């Protein structure tokens, strides 16, 4: 049995009273039996008021428990989930809706007034507003259960203005990766995980929600990570594993209360989505006594490609061994590289997409099905993978990927800006952060920086906004080839989205 529908049915029958999801800083929880019933009620409403199976349903929901119910219901009903950022400003949300073209939007926030979506009565089980396009007619009682899935988008390299890649993962791919994660992490009914990562990201969806469902354990969901009172909360929930990113590990390593971790049941902290510096890993393990399980993933592979073992021979600096996928390193002639020789990292397997859903990205696949990840690295003689960099100019801000070109377009929309380039600046906690260098069109303007900051706040999600905007007289690198890192600094090795 390797399907979301099968797992939910078995858990609902065999463990109806066990808590599946619990909020970290409140009193609400959902048992497996309750989740199975909620999903069934959502299916009934979606059949009556939603698009046909395989239609796109955008999920714009800020509450993690409510998001999880809708997400699972969409998958089980055979429709395609389109997770959207509930904290995105209206301008970015409009772009996302135009790009993904959903048939239905489930939301607990107002939509931009310009969105051409018709609102239906909020009659679904959690009381969210449900809106649809005028063409999304209901078809009451349909029971065709085709494979549901998730549609994600990612920016291409920074040289391609406004381009995005559409990534579709079907239900079988999601279940394959979730089962591989559950096996590798040794998740059982006795485990309680903790996830502070946004559920709009595939890592939290697959390794968080679905791997927990596969293993039959409990997952504690948090809206965001907070260091204050962290270990007390972990102890109170009897957490046995943590789904984190390098910035979380770095902040906890610096916490003067880190020794409290030794009184907890945590087996490991999982680090994903961005490179984890070896000194940070070592400092965390020394302060807490808790092993760090460094992993590597990207949306195109369901969020998991390699991982260090949960017990035993983990290698600091390595992202581990393949989990559920094949991995190889090739040279410029597409020939496999020997151990210790760096090249391009490529992947394939049951959990890896075989093509992008849209036109962008077709050149990333080889004729025999290998996907070029955009990362560079090497393997050692034991097969452990080490990442050394990326070749696409993306900025990895604590696991969130920022397309410099997208930010530059927002800055260049101001007629007072002649040129703009967004670059990565190393950061001790987040790995790197975006900063903007701007050449004004008409000389000094004392209001320009403040008004560009306002423009970014109105048009970009928080993690995409430059941490600083610096006025310069010229940009190194020439008109057609601007720099992608600050002079005198080195880009940290990146990894694809997870």
Residue 454 CB contacts under 8 Å (≥ 6 apart), including other chains = none
Q: Give mean pLDDT, residues 477-490.
A: 40
Model confidence pLDDT, tens digit, residues 104-113:
888 887 777 7
Pairing of strands 343-348, 371-379: antiparallel
Q: Give mean pLDDT, residues 439-461.
A: 91
Is 50 exceeded by the pLDDT of residue 14? yes
Which has the minimum average pLDDT: 1-15, 47-61, 168-182, 290-304? 47-61
Question: Which residues does residue 379 pair with via DSSP β-bridges, in sequence order?
Answer: 385
Asked if residues 290 and 265 have their Cβ atoms less than 8 Å apart, the reply is no
Tokens of 111: 């939509």
Q: Give the CA dihedral 487, 489, 490, 496, nearest 10 degrees.
A: -90
Q: Give mean pLDDT, residues 13-22.
A: 97
Model confidence pLDDT, tens digit, residues 429-443:
888 899 999 999 888
Question: In which band, very low, low, confident or very high, does the pLDDT at 301 lie, cut at 50, 70 and 90?
Answer: very high
Alpha-carbon distances, residue 220 vs 19, 59, 237, 432 (angstroms): 10, 20, 8, 28
Other Cβ atoms less than 10 A from the Cβ of 248: the count is 23
Find how far residue 426's CA is from the centre of its chain.
21
| Helix, strand, coil share (%) of the chain residues, nearest 5 | 30, 25, 45
Single out the residue of 109, 139, 134, 108 nearest to residue 119, CA to CA: 134
Q: Give mean pLDDT, residues 157-176.
A: 78
- Distance separating alpha carbons of residues 45 and 275, to the nearest angstrom: 43
Burial of 377 (0-12, 13-18, 19+ CB in 10 A): buried
Greater model confidence, 484 or 411: 411
Q: Indicate the SS3 state at residue 288.
A: helix
Residue 27 CB contacts under 8 Å (≥ 6 apart), including other chains = none
Model confidence pLDDT, tens digit, residues 354-371:
999 888 888 899 999 999
* Model pLDDT, residue 71: 95
Single out the residue of 211, 191, 209, 212 nearest to residue 200, CA to CA: 209
Q: Indicate the SS3 state at residue 449.
A: helix
Is 60 exceeded by the pLDDT of residue 138? no
For every residue of 12-50, DSSP letters joined together read HHH-TTSEEEEETTSS-EEEHHHHHHHHHHHHHHHHHHS
Asked if residues 264 and 234 have their Cβ atoms less than 8 Å apart, the reply is yes
Count CA within 13 A, CB hemisphere, residue 342: 9
* DSSP 8-state assignment for residue 320: B
Residue 369 CB contacts under 8 Å (≥ 6 apart), including other chains = 348, 354
Model confidence pLDDT, tens digit, residues 71-87:
999 999 999 999 999 88
Q: Give mean pLDDT, residues 30-52.
A: 90
Domains and CATH numbers, the chain: 4-177 (3.40.50.980), 225-390 (3.40.50.12780), 395-471 (3.30.300.30)
The conformational region for residue 399 under phi > 0 = left, psi -120 to 50 = alpha, else beta, is left
Buried b (16+ CB within 10 A) or exposed e, 98-119: eebebbbbbbbeebeeebebee
Find how far residue 269's CA is from the centre of its chain.
17
Single out the residue of 421, 412, 392 nearest to residue 163, CA to CA: 392
- Distance separating alpha carbons of residues 422 and 287, to the nearest angstrom: 36
Residue 223 CB contacts under 8 Å (≥ 6 apart), including other chains = 24, 25, 62, 64, 196
* Model pLDDT, residue 390: 73
Most confident range (mean pLDDT) of 61-65, 89-93, 177-181 is 177-181
Q: At what angle do helices 64-76 and 32-49 cross, to 10 degrees?
A: 60
Count CA within 13 A, CB hemisphere, residue 432: 29
* Model pLDDT, residue 360: 82
Greater model confidence, 139 or 388: 388
Other Cβ atoms less than 10 A from the Cβ of 304: the count is 29
Is 50 exceeded by the pLDDT of residue 136? no
């Amino acid at each position: 049995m390797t399907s979301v529908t099968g797992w939910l049915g078995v858990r609902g029958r065999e463990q109806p009273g066990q808590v599946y999801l619990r909020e970290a800083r409140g009193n609400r929880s959902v048992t497996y039996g309750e989740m199975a019933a909620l999903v069934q009620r959502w299916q009934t409403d979606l059949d009556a008021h939603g698009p046909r199976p395989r239609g796109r349903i955008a999920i714009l929901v800020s509450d993690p428990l409510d998001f999880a119910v809708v997400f699972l219901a969409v998958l089980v009903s055979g429709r395609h989930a389109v997770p959207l950022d509930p904290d995105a400003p209206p301008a970015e949300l409009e772009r996302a809706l135009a790009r993904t073209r959903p048939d239905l939007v489930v939301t607990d926030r107002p939509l931009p007034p310009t969105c051409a979506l018709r609102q239906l009565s909020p009659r679904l089980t959690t009381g969210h507003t449900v809106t649809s396009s005028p063409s999304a007619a209901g078809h009451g009682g349909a029971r065709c259960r085709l494979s549901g899935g998730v549609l994600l988008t990612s920016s291409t390299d920074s040289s391609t203005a406004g381009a995005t890649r559409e990534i579709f993962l079907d239900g079988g791919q999601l279940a394959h990766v979730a089962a591989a994660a559950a096996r590798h992490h040794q998740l059982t009914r006795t485990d309680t995980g903790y996830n502070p990562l946004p559920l709009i990201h595939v890592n939290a969806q697959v390794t968080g929600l679905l791997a927990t469902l596969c293993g039959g354990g409990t997952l504690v969901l948090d809206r965001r990570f907070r260091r204050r009172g962290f270990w007390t909360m972990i102890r109170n929930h009897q957490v046995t594993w943590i789904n984190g990113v390098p910035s979380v590990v770095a902040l906890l390593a610096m916490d003067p209360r880190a020794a409290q971790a030794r009184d907890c049941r945590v087996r490991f902290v999982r680090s994903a989505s961005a490179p984890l510096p070896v000194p940070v890993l070592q400092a965390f393990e020394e302060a807490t006594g808790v092993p760090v399980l460094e992993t590597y993933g990207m949306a195109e592979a369901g969020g998991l490609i390699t991982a260090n073992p949960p017990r035993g021979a983990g290698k600091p600096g390595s992202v581990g061994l393949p989990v559920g996928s094949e991995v190889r390193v090739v040279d410029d002639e597409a020939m496999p590289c020997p151990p210790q020789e760096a090249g391009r990292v490529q992947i394939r397997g049951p959990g890896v997409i075989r093509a992008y859903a849209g036109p962008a990205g077709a050149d990333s696949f080889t004729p025999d099905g290998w996907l070029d990840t955009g990362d560079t690295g090497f393997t050692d003689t034991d097969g452990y993978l080490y990442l050394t960099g990326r070749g696409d100019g993306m900025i990895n801000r604590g696991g969130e990927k920022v397309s410099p070109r997208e930010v530059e377009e927002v800055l260049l929309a101001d007629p007072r800006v002649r040129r703009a380039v967004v670059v990565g600046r190393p950061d001790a906690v987040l790995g790197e952060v975006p900063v903007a260098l701007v050449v004004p069109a008409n000389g000094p303007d004392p209001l320009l920086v403040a008004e560009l900051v306002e423009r970014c706040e109105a048009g970009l999600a928080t993690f995409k906004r430059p941490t600083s905007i610096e006025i310069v007289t010229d940009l190194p690198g020439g008109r057609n080839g601007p720099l992608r890192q600050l002079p005198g600094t080195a880009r940290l090795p990146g990894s694809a989205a997870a």
